Structure 1
Amino acid sequence: MRNLKLLPALIGATLVIAIILYVAFYFIFLDLFVDLWWYESLKLEAYFWLRLLYKFFLSGGVTLAFFAIFFFHFWVASRYLGLNPPDEVLSTLDQRRRFQRFADTFMNGSATVYTPISLILAIFIAIPFYNQWETTLLYFFGSDSGVTESVYGKDVSFYMLSYPTYMLIQQELLTTASLIFCMVGILYWLEHVFIPDQSSEFPLGAKVHLTTLIGFVVAFVVWGFMLDRFTLLYTDKHEPVFYGPGFVELRYQLPLIWLEIVTFVATAITAGLFIFSEKHRVKAPFLISLTLFLCVAGLPKIQFIPDLIQKYIVNPNPVKTNKSLIQYNIDATMNAYDLKNIKTVDMTIKLNATKDIETWSTQKHFENLPVWDREFIIDGYKQLQEIRPYYKIMSVDEDRYFILDHTRQVNLAAREVNISKLPPEAQNWENAHLRYTHGYGAVVTPAAQDADNPLIWYLRDLNMHSDVGFSVKHPDIYYGQEKFDYAIVPNKLNVVGIAGSSDPGIAEAYHGEGGVPIPSLFRKALFSFYFKDEKIFFSTNISTQSKVKIRRNITERINTLTPFLHLDKDPYLVITKDRFYWIQDAYTLSNRYPVSKPADDDFLEGKQNFNYIRNSVKVVVDAFDGGVDFYISDPSDAIIQAYSNAYPGLFKNLEEMPAELKQHLRYPRDLYYLQMKVYAKYHQQTPELFYEQAETWQFANVRGQPVLPYYQTMDFGNCNDTEEFVLINPMTPVNRGNLSMIGVAGTLDKSNCNLDYKPGITVYKFGKDVQVNGPAQVEALINQDPEISAQFTLWGQAGSVVEMGRMIILPMGNTVLYVQPIYLASTKNKIPELTRVIVSIGNVVVMDKTLWSAFNRLKQIYIQHAADSDGTETPKAIMNQEIIK
């Protein structure tokens, strides 16, 4: 009968244990096992364990430390310092025993209570450390950057690596000290009330203990005031004029913080003297210091005082009072966005461009201008080269390759797998995970091409046909930009014809190294649980040689490995003799760079709040095997050095990157866009100019859209006929259409003229004496030309849409060259055709089918005009109707 009564309890206990084990297995151990196997497949298991160790060591260590602090104070308060019986109570043995019995009962009971309370409080206090353990890691492994901020004279790495941790520690220690003081005070009071025969006076030990705790509270409050000084470096009260502290902050608010510290310490000291001086208590010092502290602490709440300072001292003399502080903001922002080393070239513009045209008409490979925009050509790629319904071209990249005797700029795209366009009945589990497992091959076309001709292909079709030498041993793409699901390869299916070629080599089973092995039924079962898919376990097509490929989207893959890196929006494909690779630019960001203006919210899709950035890492992902390598591209960055110190072996030096990949490194487009957006204002590097904002720039606009940075391959005469792959960015004055500058960002080492990666920016700045056309003004010249307008109208009536591509703008000697590609797109199939090229210098526009013929006609116009005049004016726009026909 007794056993029957225990049966429900046993069943309940068994169910509870089973549920706990299931939850622990499913949500902890299963993920742990799969993650470990995945890291092992990448040969990064040491990094996996190190990262796990850091996380649990820091989290567990902080929890244990706070538990020890709470427990120690409760234990001391209940065991030693709270008993204070009068002498007469302890005069006999019975009285001593009776008192001790009550005291032991209370102390043992309180210990039962405060032990779990200490643990709960420790976990509560440590929660912010759990969430910010990686920030704390930077504190331990960080080092000085060598750059000192100007306000307090500290190294900037202190603010980016140490300051956030100090703020966290100060807040948690202050909370801890306050909680302990309150709870220990309650404990002493309970001892005083419930233990009989206690003296009417609190014991001396209790007073000392409480006073010590008050001392800790005071110390942590003072530390908070000290840290508050640094918050002045991040004020935005003076925006949009400048960012950071101004005259009011450093001449009024900063002294107030020091006064708060002094008066608060004085209040604490006088309060302590008042408490301990039982016979000679004097309230006056305590009340005076307390009053002073309250007055000083209340002053920041009174806004009319700083308003008066601002109105009568700063506003009448804005530059004089804030001159050094504006300079701090300029210097800090230029440093934070890596703009300190920009090379500025003052470019003199001559109205007579004859000499420049003659010089540049002999320029080697001048035809290598990217008249094919990736935004237009992608439609042609999709229509002509996706070929099968299970392939998809996600995006078009730009790069340069040595083709046909020199470096040529190309557009290229990977052919990735996507079965969404297959018939619904074909979109089943076996097809999705065992059969259609990868993309195949890529397409490559020249960015430069003559108009009104069929598109030239450097690499095309599923047989990887190339007339220029492209050959890839392993063209399979298992990892890419598509949102891939998991794949299991090799398997027992006889996959034939998926790649659409008669080449038997294409139907071979996967023989790469990537993926997590499935050597046993145990792993099959675990993966079935992990993916919530029983088909994995019961499928007979999965062999012991099969491997599971997971996290095949390269962004997800890198983010899982290094969540502390922030990825560029545009990874790009690189073709080698052996296989395809993806190169991903990665950034380190911080929102704690002192006095630096925060970035706008249009970078990295607006997900980050930061005022410091470095392109510190180049990530290479193997599209065939999935291997991931991290290379430090900016060793001067203190943040990436801290991570490198914390995770030895994860990051490699850039010199270790294979040469065939290193030659395809480029200046990131998103980074350059951000830098130029900041530089548009901060190129005015004296406080007077910065305050005036008379030379503030903006991105050049055309058709209501900004002209964003674009890639160009050309020999700019820097290194012995070496062609550079650079980003071009034109800018105009605010609310004006004429050009102010052309920025060029590249990676060529101009000092040694080799292929070493050395990113830099050159700004070609135009004077104010000669007007230089911007893209909107050149487009206006094009639209005003009657013959061009008539031709556009004629094309538009033939069932086609006339599209004007991205305008190419290049500095050329003492003039500026504009190249405007014109496309025709059918209203039915949307396949674009490059139909004409318009070239312009000064106010002359010429349209032709080839860049060379248009440029030569432009040259003849200028030569003829120079012969007919003194060359002080530009010729009128001339158009040859026969060419248009």
Structure 2
Amino acid sequence: MSELFDEESREAPPPRGSRRSRALIITAIVLVLAFLGLSTFASLYTDRLWYKAGGYSGVFTTLFWTRTGLFLVFGAVMGLVVGLNIYLAFRFRPFFRPNSPEQTGLDRYRDAVTPIRTWLLVGISVVLGAFAGSSAIGEWRSYLLWRNGGSFGQRDEWFDKDIGFYVFDLPWLHYLIDYSMAVLVVALIAAVVVHYLYGGIRLQTSRDRLSGAAQVQISVLLGLFVLVKAADYWLDRFDLVTRSGSLVTGMNYTGHNAILPSKNILLGIAVICAVLFFVNVWRRTWLLPSVGLALLAVSAILLGLIWPGIVQQFQVKPSEADKEAPYIDANIKATREAYAIDDDNVEVTEYTKKAESTDATADAFASLLGQTSSAPLVDPQLVRQTFEQQQQARVYYSVADVLDVDRYTIDDTERALVLGVRELDQDKINTGDKNWSNLHTVYTHGNGVIAAYANQRPADNGPEKTDIQWAEGIQNNSQRTLSEAVGDYETRVYFGEQSPDYSIVGKAAPSDPSVELDLSVGGEAADTGSADAPSDAPTDSPSETPSDAPTDSASETPSVAPEDTTGNTDAEDRTTTYDGKGGVHIGGFFNKLMYAVKFGEPNFLLSERVNENSQVLYNRNPRDRVEKFAPWLTIDGDAYPVIVDGRILWVLDGYTATDRYPNSQRESFETMTDDSLQDKTGLRTLPTDEVNYMRNAVKATVDAYDGTVTLYEWDEEDPILKAWESAFPGTVQPRSDIPEDLLSHLRYPQDLFKAQRYQYARYHVTDPGDFYQGNDRWEVPEDPNSRGSFLQPPYRLFVNQAAADGAQRNVWSLTTDFVPYGKSNLAAFVSVDSDATDPENYGKFRVLEIQNAQTNGPSLIASEFAGNQDVRNALLPFQQGGNPPLYGNLLTIPVEGGLIYVEPVYAQRTGSTGGYPILQYVLVSYGDQVGIGQTLREALADALGVENANVTPGGNNGGGNGKGGGKGGGGEPQGTISQQIAVLLAKAEASFEAADQAQRAGNTVRWAQLMDRGKDFVSQAVELADQLPESPPAGEGGQGGQPTEPAQPSGSPEPTESPSPSS
């Protein structure tokens, strides 16, 4: 090497800076490199510990070696090829250069480069290799899919290739081609520069502008480049079936008849051009290669751009519908298959009648009430403040912005519940208590689940009216029927959507006092291993004085709850010590140092709270944990909590997706899932953002206490999932391992349904001619309650369906509406079966398609509600008081007689602890009539024009499937006789007040109706009063307005009085 790089002259080196300056520069460079190296090593080392602690060390190993291998291989190839070409250009430089102004001007650059050319060669090769290797790291997904991918078992109709070729092989082959072209271009540029610098290329001479060595090297590089371009043309042919066109994605007439032939022609020209460049090595003339290169360029313009444009304009446009028909048909079939909305998964029922509310009878009222009593009136978007104000327990706890809806079997009845997890919110801790010790060792976790019945209201709200019937709470005399149904469970929440970035848990010795602040319920401490009171906790302060809780200073105390003015609570402050396995054991000094570097926090080395038994909990958001353990999945935006086997589990849906499915319609994932809840549910976009194939491949759970992540196979036939299982063996558990209790809480995923409904709006049409015309195109309606043009989100509720034997059954479903494109009337109602315990029907789309009937859509119904005089009169006091009503979810519910719209109306209440919305009215639209009432029963009776008699609801019960349970009825009061009397008298008073308002507004008809209703309530109260014993036993009426009779669903026999479950 030294012989080949002998210097041309031994000129004196240029002057150098002082030794001190050089030493300072070298020292600074060494320190920077040392810091970067230590940070990188700390990150890798702690990641390895974290993956190992989570039980997924194999994922870390596979990712590490795959990325490292790609970096080294592709970086080395780039560095070696470029370095070799630089070396060859210098090695075969001309030793005699004719004297010219050009060469004289280059002498100073040669003089500067020559002394450092070896270092320059190495530096350029290393830097370019590092860039190329870093780029290759990002292709680990493509590489692993190419290596582990298999067959889809289906072939495309244009090239007769298995779909697996497009999904698994083609992306990686494209990367190899693009990488090869980049390497050759960089090598060509480097060779040209060196040849020009050392006289191998002379631009200012009339002849012999290139030396023989320069001509050979440049010809070979250009020939290789054009040959690789020929391979690129060959691959581009297959991209035609995934190409986004103006009409549809995939092959079209122009692509098939113009672009495809042009690619084949260009491929041949490129091969010929490459041969000419290789021949130029011996012929030493640039005429033929130049002609070939010019021919390739002109052909690319004529055949690749102009010809397809001419075909499109003069052949396709005049009869586009006929020309594109076979290609549209292929697109329709592929799209419906790729999004699982084909005939195998969709059941269409025509709806040809319109609901009629005239001539209603008591039997019809009872039937409709039974079919609608499961309508959820507790809106998960609006009651967050109510949950926090009434069940927060401590100021530093909070719940999610949008609560979750799930179903539980309570008293043998499947009930829909609105749930939130009481999570730690460190932003609400008093400012004086926000020190490192408190934030990372004291305030470490949340506590428990809050739940309310979705379709039930309490019998007596008392002075603090909430209109929430709690199924799980610890304040306001709440029942804990959910805990009684599922059994005791671990309430501490260390892993949640709002968990701190990291916490340090564990104590040095079992005898040491606990320091983590916790709640105990009902006087029983949580599973702590220590029942220390907060005052026993140590501090990190030099003057360690006991206080109300552990702090860093004797004068600092952690936040505690204010005086409970909203109702009694069984919760007490305790301290606890985490004894789970979800963290990384810090161990000795080296691990402490690594985590101090990782988090940039010296207290890992200095604080006494960090000991050999300590664990550090981080990466605590459920979505983040699943994404790290399964980085090849895209996680649904809505993680929801369930209580299973004594634990709170976060359940998440994982998707496999691609944008390379042949002929399937490609669309932005963000566009397809956009609705009024997008910002609040934490939408996660896919790596490519655009997709044309999706499967709910995996169901994942995250234990809220110890962070254990379990991945269960869900779509056992998905080829993409099989490829990832081959790449990461043992990561995904078989579907048969899903516990039965967990299976009952699995549901159809929200983001997948949004993507499917977006595509189904166009692809419910299967005739290519009708599809092209677009006359029957649908769209998701706008949310009438959103501020701005946001689409209505899907809703989870029980939907009445006819069973095989003709009987009606309530099915847990995810639902949406469709309206004709650009219009407001209803086009279809769609529900998808969401009951995972019924594998035969799970994921089945049931489309109620409106035919020959003008049925109002959500926006028209909202306008109908707003324009109804009775509704306006009822809501007028709230609007005049500067407290405008809040409209809840506008629900569409199919019934035997047609469709019913139900919408709850809330008003903001200002209480002693803050404001929160309470349910005031229920609005109903059935046929041409609008009804309003304080309960669904009243609103439905008002719409039907019948008396609100004490009829037994017909049809299936509103709570779900089973017997017993709560009296749904959209919130019909229940309780002891005394409680029922109190509720009836309160309703009578409200009716009389509303009657006075109607009279002042001049609405005498409404005044008469309200007066009669109020009198009916008084009569019913008098009848019940006659049943009271002369001396009612002590305690009659229950505690705090809670019912003392077991809750009974609509349509079930009323039970005899019995004590209610204790709080």
Above 0.5 in TM-score? Answer: yes
1:292, distance to aligned residue in structure 2 (A): 4.6
Q: Is residue 2:171 matched to residue 1:150? A: no
Match of 2:922 among 837, 841, 845: 837
Match of 2:490 among 466, 474, 489: 474
Alignment correspondent of 1:42: 54
Question: Superposition pairs for residues 449-460 of structure 1, below 5 Å?
Answer: 449-450=456-457, 454=461, 455-460=468-473
Summarize the Cα distance change of 1:434–1:122 in structure 2 as closer, same or farther, 3 Å threshold.
Answer: closer
Distance 1:731 1:883 in 2: 40
Deviations 1:711-740 (A, max 9, x none): 002452347876432111011112322211
Instruction: Give the SS at the match of 2:668.
Output: coil
Question: Superposition pairs for residues 761-800 of structure 1, below 5 Å?
Answer: 761-767=845-851, 769-797=852-880, 800=883
- C-alpha RMSD of the superposition: 4.2
1:443, distance to aligned residue in structure 2 (A): 0.6
Give, as a single letter, the amino acid of the residue that structure 2 aligns with 1:504: A
Q: Is residue 2:511 matched to residue 1:509? A: no
Summarize the Cα distance change of 1:67–1:35 in structure 2 as closer, same or farther, 3 Å threshold.
Answer: same
Q: Is residue 2:944 matched to residue 1:822? A: no
Give, as a single letter, the amino acid of the residue that structure 1 aligns with 2:480: S
Contact 1:75 1:111 in 2 (8 A): no
Match of 2:75 among 57, 60, 63: 63
Distance 1:249 1:313 in 2: 13
1:413, distance to aligned residue in structure 2 (A): 0.2
Distance 2:784 2:25 in 1: 72
Summarize the Cα distance change of 1:294–1:500 in structure 2 as closer, same or farther, 3 Å threshold.
Answer: closer
Summarize the Cα distance change of 1:520–1:302 in structure 2 as closer, same or farther, 3 Å threshold.
Answer: closer
Q: Is residue 2:148 matched to residue 1:141? A: yes
Q: Is residue 2:307 matched to residue 1:335? A: no
Alignment correspondent of 2:352: 349
The more displaced of 178-187 and 433-442 is: 178-187
Give, as a single letter, the amino acid of the residue that structure 1 aligns with 2:844: G
Distance 1:881 1:167 in 2: 74
Alignment correspondent of 1:806: 889
Alignment correspondent of 1:881: 1010
Alignment correspondent of 1:426: 433
- The answer for unaligned runs of 5 or more in structure 2 is 1-17, 96-115, 202-207, 462-467, 527-573, 674-682, 950-1004, 1015-1063
Distance 1:355 1:327 in 2: 50
Alignment correspondent of 1:560: 628
Alignment correspondent of 2:935: 850
Distance 2:496 2:656 in 1: 23
Q: Is residue 2:668 matched to residue 1:599? A: yes
Distance 2:407 2:369 in 1: 18
Alignment correspondent of 2:824: 737
Instruction: Give the SS at the match of 2:894.
Output: strand
Instruction: Give the SS at the match of 2:61.
Output: helix
Alignment correspondent of 2:519: 499
Contact 2:227 2:274 in 1 (8 A): no
Summarize the Cα distance change of 1:723–1:183 in structure 2 as closer, same or farther, 3 Å threshold.
Answer: same
Instruction: Give the SS at the match of 2:322.
Output: helix
1:170, distance to aligned residue in structure 2 (A): 0.7
Q: Is residue 2:474 matched to residue 1:461? A: yes
Instruction: Give the SS at the match of 2:321.
Output: helix
1:527, distance to aligned residue in structure 2 (A): 2.5
Question: Superposition pairs for residues 53-132 of structure 1, below 5 Å?
Answer: 53-67=65-79, 119-132=126-139
Distance 2:1012 2:148 in 1: 67
Deviations 1:753-812 (A, max 9, x none): 736894232211111x22122223333443444333222224544675333321221222
Contact 1:744 1:761 in 2 (8 A): yes
Q: Is residue 2:331 matched to residue 1:310? A: no
Contact 1:271 1:286 in 2 (8 A): yes
Distance 2:217 2:302 in 1: 34
1:388, distance to aligned residue in structure 2 (A): 0.9
Alignment correspondent of 1:91: none
Summarize the Cα distance change of 1:497–1:560 in structure 2 as closer, same or farther, 3 Å threshold.
Answer: closer
Q: Is residue 2:272 matched to residue 1:266? A: yes
Summarize the Cα distance change of 1:302–1:778 in structure 2 as closer, same or farther, 3 Å threshold.
Answer: closer
Contact 2:369 2:940 in 1 (8 A): no
Contact 1:810 1:817 in 2 (8 A): yes
Contact 1:343 1:763 in 2 (8 A): yes
- The answer for unaligned runs of 5 or more in structure 1 is 85-108, 195-199, 865-876
Contact 1:264 1:293 in 2 (8 A): yes
Summarize the Cα distance change of 1:503–1:40 in structure 2 as closer, same or farther, 3 Å threshold.
Answer: same
Alignment correspondent of 1:759: 843
Deviations 1:67-122 (A, max 9, x none): 5556777889999x9999xxxxxxxxxxxxxxxxxxxxxxxx99998666655554
Q: Is residue 2:726 matched to residue 1:645? A: yes
Contact 2:815 2:830 in 1 (8 A): yes
Summarize the Cα distance change of 1:883–1:669 in structure 2 as closer, same or farther, 3 Å threshold.
Answer: farther
Could you say which structure has the higher helix fraction?
1
Contact 1:247 1:322 in 2 (8 A): yes
Summarize the Cα distance change of 1:64–1:359 in structure 2 as closer, same or farther, 3 Å threshold.
Answer: farther
The more displaced of 462-471 and 32-41 is: 462-471
Contact 1:799 1:827 in 2 (8 A): no
Question: Superposition pairs for residues 331-730 of structure 1, below 5 Å?
Answer: 331-340=333-342, 341-351=344-354, 358=364, 361=367, 367-395=373-401, 396-450=403-457, 454=461, 455-461=468-474, 466-468=480-482, 469=484, 470-491=486-507, 492-495=512-515, 498-499=518-519, 502-505=523-526, 507-595=575-663, 596-599=665-668, 601-602=670-671, 603=673, 604=683, 609-612=689-692, 613-701=694-782, 703=784, 705=786, 706-718=791-803, 723-730=810-817
Summarize the Cα distance change of 1:307–1:863 in structure 2 as closer, same or farther, 3 Å threshold.
Answer: farther
Distance 2:28 2:858 in 1: 74
Alignment correspondent of 2:36: 23
The more displaced of 40-49 and 628-637 is: 628-637
Give, as a single letter, the amino acid of the residue that structure 1 aligns with 2:472: L
Alignment correspondent of 2:262: 256
Identity among equivalent positions (%) equals: 23
Contact 1:630 1:650 in 2 (8 A): yes
Give, as a single letter, the amino acid of the residue that structure 1 aligns with 2:334: A
1:214, distance to aligned residue in structure 2 (A): 5.3
Distance 1:690 1:862 in 2: 49
Contact 1:38 1:516 in 2 (8 A): yes
Summarize the Cα distance change of 1:861–1:691 in structure 2 as closer, same or farther, 3 Å threshold.
Answer: farther
Distance 1:647 1:360 in 2: 56
Distance 1:172 1:792 in 2: 67
Distance 2:628 2:308 in 1: 48
Alignment correspondent of 1:96: none
1:140, distance to aligned residue in structure 2 (A): 1.1
Distance 1:648 1:317 in 2: 53
1:205, distance to aligned residue in structure 2 (A): 11
Give, as a single letter, the amino acid of the residue that structure 2 aligns with 1:610: E
Give, as a single letter, the amino acid of the residue that structure 2 aligns with 1:397: D
Contact 1:360 1:812 in 2 (8 A): no
Alignment correspondent of 2:1002: none
Give, as a single letter, the amino acid of the residue that structure 1 aligns with 2:314: Y
Give, as a single letter, the amino acid of the residue that structure 1 aligns with 2:500: F
Alignment correspondent of 1:873: none
Alignment correspondent of 1:97: none
Contact 2:941 2:948 in 1 (8 A): no
Contact 2:145 2:168 in 1 (8 A): yes
Distance 1:295 1:504 in 2: 82
Contact 2:223 2:273 in 1 (8 A): no
Give, as a single letter, the amino acid of the residue that structure 1 aligns with 2:872: S
The more displaced of 414-423 and 290-299 is: 290-299
Distance 1:801 1:47 in 2: 53
1:624, distance to aligned residue in structure 2 (A): 0.3
Give, as a single letter, the amino acid of the residue that structure 2 aligns with 1:737: S
